[in-house]
Amino acid sequence: MATEGVQHVALSLTDHLPVLVVLIPFLAAPLVVLIGRNRLAWPLAFIAAIGSFVVSAQLLMQVGDGDVLSYHLGGWAPPLGIEYRVDAANAFVLLIISAIATVLLPYTRASIRAELPERHIALFYALFLLAFSGLLGVAVTGDAFNLFVFLEISSLSTYVLIALGAYKDKRALTTAFNYLVMGTIGATFYVIGIGFLYMATGTLNMADLAERIADAQGNRTIHAGFAFVVVGIGLKVAIYPLHLWLPNAYTYAPSAVSAFLAATATKVAVYVLMRFMFSVFQPGYTYEAAILHLIILPLAILGMFAGSFIAIFQNDFKKMLAYSSIAQIGYMLLGIGLLSETGLTAAIIHLFNHAITKATLFMVVGAYVLRSGGSFYANLEGMGRIMPWTSAAAVVGGLSLIGVPGTAGFISKWILVQAALESGAWWIALLVVASSLLAVIYVWRGVEVVFLKPPQDDVDRREAPLTMIVPIWIMAAACVYFGLATDVTLSAAQAAAEGLFAGPLPLTVEH
Amino acid sequence: MMSEVFPTAFLFFAGALALLALPQGRLRAGLLLAIPIAAAWQVWSLPEGGLWQVTFFGLELELMRVDRLARVFALIFTLAAFLGNLYAWHVRDAVQQVAALLYAGAAIGAVFAGDLITLFFYWEGTAIASVFLIWARRTEGAYHTGMRYLIVQIGSGVILIAGAALYYRETGSLAFETMTLGSPGTWLIFLSFGIKSAFPLLHNWLQDSYPAATVTGTVILSAFTTKLAIYALARGFAGTEILIYIGVVMTLFPIFFAEIENDLRRVLAYSLNNQLGFMVVGIGIGTEMALNGTAAHAFAHILYKALLFMSVGAVLFRTGTSKASELGGLYRTMPKTAMFCLVGAASISAFPLFSGFVTKALVLDEAASAHYTWVWAALVFASAGVLSHSGIKIPFFTFFAHDSGLRPKEAPTHMLLAMGITAALCILIGVYPAPLYAILPYPVDFHPYSGGHVVGQLQLLLFALLAFAVLMRTGIHPPEIRAVNLDTDWSYRKAGPWVLARISGLVSAIWGAVGGLFAGQIRAAIAGFYRSHGPEGRIAHIWPTGSMVLWLAILLGVTLVVVYAA
């Protein structure tokens, strides 16, 4: 139900859904600050997250069968006006982000109260909402520069969110500063790339860009722009050698922030990469195919192994998870790099499956931190006996991380292996399996610490509060549910991959 | 989802859940017995065909494919679960109880699996459930052994699913039917089955782990994992010729190890490996009668092997040791256990009127009639070896030989009962094999008690006995002092036939060298990885901002070059 033809007709609320999904949390953020009351901050944020979640579910239903929604911000027609463009791919990403935020928010109450001083709680929720709306905006927009704006909104608030970890560990400050520098360079690269593209084509609308780039083959400016965009987004994705900001950021941020970032931030960046690779540029262009085969694919495989090996030797649970994320991002990039519809499906479904898996695990660590005061393995010894519910969820998440059948992680890996075999690269399939075995080792190390060691004396011997257990188990149950009932996720991912692989839809410029 | 019956495996899983709700004690132990009985009744009355389908992301899974081959294995598995649980009546450890149920359920589920995905699920299920039987011993050694066991078993499952993925690519089907070796997919599946059925050089996990489990755990372990793999081979690779040769090697090489081994439970583990060889040969021959032989031998084997593990386990339970050098003369106070052990020994040695005789003859006859003469000869030789290490060594050094001075009590009643039932079944099958023959996959027209069979087997057995007697009298210097002293296996090597000692020494040396080589390399590799990837390593180091910017610049440069060059 595209809105192109109804320019001068009063729009119903349904027509505004593409902008509402961003607007709800975006407006809730200043509201939280203005009210300034800790007690009202959480309910407001929660309501905003639910609102976004409902809207994105609606959107996904509308575009599930291959439709594309085009929303013109302020009624200004693209390519001059900003266009929000929803297809199956980004509707799916919107749903991931908003679902994670909705489940996570109740969890933040106890966790944040324990890790932040009272006076920052309202501000925390404001920042959280900003980061949340920024990520949604990145996913929903069809305008390359608007994407940059949202990217900065989410990044700037993320830097602060990470720095909030300083109340527990001062290293959060240097980490946040490091990430600030890196992230800014990445964003700058992106904006330089967009500048080049604008110089060569004179447009910022993605669909319009796609058409003009197709017309201007061999233009060196466009080539340079492409390289800058890929590397800039690559940093946000944490492609293997550009991952250095990630481990510390996830480790020293407050637990709830780690869970949110791990589940959403890099996923959105991967989505942006896919959007540029398949909708703005075309895999058919020789330079893009070369990048995918010569750079993305090898780096993906390198990341799968390097990340896993480092994770094996870690002695901090959070850091182990962070490095495992780098390996898991490798799988997504691998799916993209295989350049097939099945590969893309694998990447997209892994976006989702990894998001719920990592959210489960980071939430579990947060619960451990609440009771034991730290996330080092030494702090977590014997927590399996003290916190059986939390620890059982950790096992479920761990199994999903490995990719044990019956869990969500298996589905993505199975499709990824199928994609590798489909393109005749059986050695890649073997590498995927081999790196999964490494995951067995690092997950096992965690299980060993949590279940097989006697508990420390100086820990708070209580199970986590119910407000944490319930969200953790919703996520853990999702890990199992989406490992068994794959209809929803698989068909959404397939629709998204088909949509992306079909190339850009022509810009509608009749008005 | 279509369902005509409740899958048998789920019966066990539901039982395991219900178990936790019951208080520890007789009620629980009773439930542990009731579930296998209910399952056996269900398996017996199941109609043939595909009875339970599930759709799992676009794939049709068949959870209950019932045919005669599956049924005979499922039946013996329920029987083994019953006997094992009866033997473990005294155990009050929830971990072991639940693990035993889940393990048996997974094994039976795997037998009924009609596709490779379902098979994989249960395949890993057996691995995960069974490791707790080893860990339940709760010693440091058992923990590490369990870890090694788990890695091998999970590895086998991972290879299976990799093979299944490739097979699916090749054929577009995941049905678990007879396959032909050739493509990478089928080779991987074959390898996975091979690991679990302890093919030569893939066998070490078996001798490593079985003796490390609890007294009752070993009895249960001995029944399922390897026989499941035998079933899988019979289903997937019947008639694959290479299996004949693998099987022959399997029957032969464990003999040498078994001869010099001091831990009696480990001796039994080696002889288990040897018995699997007979079944693998049967699968390799692949004729209807040979497959009958494999299934029948698996059936009988599970019983007598369990019986032997039970009797040695009872001794371990009472005396705290299963070392041949520390035991002896126990018949005085454990006469019933000794008697049951002798029944088991006679069965495994294939004495006429015992179960091994009527089943092994099926395989041997098929080998002979399919003109694998030297295969047949090797199997005959292996049979003699079985007699020596399992038939004589186990009962002799435990219950007779020199008097160790131990005067343990007779085994507890429930153990005696479990052993008694098993022994009775061994004899029943041996005397009246018709019911067993009737449930085999294919119609049987075979008469084990022909003159030729009986005389041939008796000749073999008697000469082997004679040889043992001669060696015992001559190999040991002063016969009037202790007949055999097994303080170290060095002295036993001296006592035993020196040829065997030489061969086994050589084999162990090669194994040790290969193992040492790899162990060294693996250790070096791990150390290397730790240096590079460990928390202090260069790769895991959190570099200052500048270096990251450097990486960014490098990557940008490379990307630009690639873009321009393309």
Cα–Cα–Cα angle for A200, A205, A206, nearest 5°?
90
Write down the pLDDT at residue B108: 94
Candidates A239, A310, A482, partner chain B, best to mutate (most B CBs within 10 A): A310
B558 Cβ under 8 Å from any chain A Cβ: yes
**Distance (Å, rounded) from C-alpha B310 to C-alpha B343?**
12
Whether A252 has a pLDDT exceeding 80, the answer reads: yes
Least confident range from A76-80, A173-177, A258-262, B339-343: namely A76-80
**Distance (Å, rounded) from C-alpha A412 to C-alpha A418?**
10
Instruction: Please write the tens of the pLDDT for every residue from B315-337.
Output: 999 888 888 878 888 888 889 99
Report residue A206: phi and psi, to 5°: -60, -45
What is the percentage of chain B residues whose pLDDT exceeds 90? 29
Q: Higher-confidence residue: A75 or A99? A: A99
Average pLDDT of chain B to the nearest whole number: 84
Chain centroid offset of residue A46 CA: 19
Average pLDDT of chain A to the nearest whole number: 89
Contacts of B543 in chain A (CB under 8 A): 244
Cα–Cα–Cα angle for B95, B100, B103, nearest 5°?
115
B56 Cβ under 8 Å from any chain A Cβ: yes
Instruction: Return the residue of B nearest to A320 by Cα.
Output: B535
Do the domain assignments include residue A480?
A: yes
Q: What H or E segment, with its residue span, contains residue B95?
A: helix B94-111
Under an 8 A CB cutoff, do B563 and A290 touch? yes
Under an 8 A CB cutoff, do A490 and B58 touch? yes
Whether B477 has a pLDDT exceeding 80, the answer reads: no
Give the mean model confidence (pLDDT) for residues A423-430: 86
B residues 345-384 near A, CB within 8 Å?
none
Whether B264 has a pLDDT exceeding 60, the answer reads: yes
Whether B181 has a pLDDT exceeding 70, the answer reads: yes
How close A470 comes to chain B (CA, Å)? 23
Write down the pLDDT at residue B485: 37
Under an 8 A CB cutoff, do B545 and A181 touch? yes
Whether B478 has a pLDDT exceeding 50, the answer reads: no
Q: Higher-confidence residue: B350 or B529? A: B350
Side by side, the strands of the sheet bearing B52-56 are B2-3, B52-56, B59-62
Write down the pLDDT at residue B395: 86
**Distance (Å, rounded) from C-alpha A373 to C-alpha A114?**
10
Candidates B152, B548, B550, B561, partner chain A, best to mutate (most A CBs within 10 A): B548
Do the domain assignments include residue A132?
A: yes
Q: Can you give the residue range of the structural domain that contains A51?
A: 11-501
Contact B308, B398 (CB under 8 A): no
| B60: three-class secondary structure by DSSP | strand
Under an 8 A CB cutoff, do A426 and B542 touch? no
Q: Higher-confidence residue: A452 or B186? A: B186
Q: Please report, for chain B, the start and end positions of each structural domain, with discontinuous segments joined by +.
A: 1-235, 238-493, 502-565
Give the mean model confidence (pLDDT) for residues B137-147: 85
B residues 104-133 near A, CB within 8 Å?
117, 120-121, 124
Q: Which residue has the tokens 């609320």?
A: A13
Q: How many H-runs (helices) and E-runs (strands) does chain B carry?
A: 22, 5
For chain A, the helix, strand and coil percentages under 3-state DSSP, each to the nearest 5? 80, 5, 20
Of A227, A245, A440, the CB nearest to B548: A245
Structure tokens at A198: 């604008």
Of A181, A226, A411, the CB nearest to B563: A226
Give the mean model confidence (pLDDT) for residues A118-142: 93
Q: What interhelical angle do B264-285 and B242-260 show, nearest 10? A: 170
How would residue B375 be classed by pLDDT, with cut points 50, 70 and 90?
confident
Whether A326 has a pLDDT exceeding 90, the answer reads: yes
How would residue B527 be classed by pLDDT, with cut points 50, 70 and 90?
confident
Do the domain assignments include residue A449?
A: yes
Do the domain assignments include residue A509?
A: no
How close B343 comes to chain A (CA, Å)? 42
Give the mean model confidence (pLDDT) for residues B260-272: 86
Candidates A309, A349, A489, partner chain B, best to mutate (most B CBs within 10 A): A309
Write down the pLDDT at residue B1: 41
Write down the pLDDT at residue B543: 64
What is the percentage of chain B residues whose pLDDT exceeds 70? 91
Q: Report the domain count for chain A.
A: 1
The phi-psi region of residue A143 (left if phi > 0; otherwise alpha if psi is between -120 and 50; otherwise beta) is beta
Q: Higher-confidence residue: B211 or B487? A: B211
Do the domain assignments include residue A289?
A: yes
Candidates B124, B153, B552, B561, partner chain A, best to mutate (most A CBs within 10 A): B552
Write down the pLDDT at residue B453: 80
Instruction: Please write the tens of the pLDDT for every residue from A288-325.
Output: 888 888 999 999 999 999 999 999 988 899 999 999 99
Under an 8 A CB cutoff, do B540 and A244 touch? no
ipTM score of complex: 0.84
Q: How many CB pairs under 8 A join A and B?
A: 129
Of A245, A313, A452, the CB nearest to B535: A313
B539 Cβ under 8 Å from any chain A Cβ: yes
Write down the pLDDT at residue B482: 36
Contact B32, B100 (CB under 8 A): yes
Instruction: Please write the tens of the pLDDT for every residue from A370-391.
Output: 888 888 888 888 888 888 889 9
Under an 8 A CB cutoff, do A309 and B543 touch? no
Do the domain assignments include residue A6?
A: no
Cα dist. A410→A209, A301, A303, B389, B554 in Å? 37, 18, 19, 45, 35
pTM of the predicted model, to two decimals? 0.74
Instruction: Return the residue of B nearest to A419 by Cα.
Output: B169
Q: Which residue has the tokens 């065909």?
A: B49
Chain centroid offset of residue B106 CA: 15
What is the percentage of chain A residues whose pLDDT exceeds 90? 54
Q: Residue A227: CB partners within 8 Å, gap ≥ 6?
A: A193, A291, B556, B559, B560, B563
Whether A394 has a pLDDT exceeding 90, the answer reads: yes
**Distance (Å, rounded) from C-alpha A352 to C-alpha A277?**
19
Do the domain assignments include residue A180?
A: yes
Give the mean model confidence (pLDDT) for residues A157-177: 91
What is the percentage of chain A residues whose pLDDT exceeds 70? 96
Cα–Cα–Cα angle for A84, A85, A89, nearest 5°?
135
Of A189, A294, A309, the CB nearest to B533: A309
Of A235, A310, A422, the CB nearest to B540: A310
Helices of type H across A202-245: 206-215, 220-237
**Distance (Å, rounded) from C-alpha B485 to C-alpha A124?**
77
Contacts of A405 in chain B (CB under 8 A): 117, 120-121, 124, 161
Write down the pLDDT at residue B2: 46
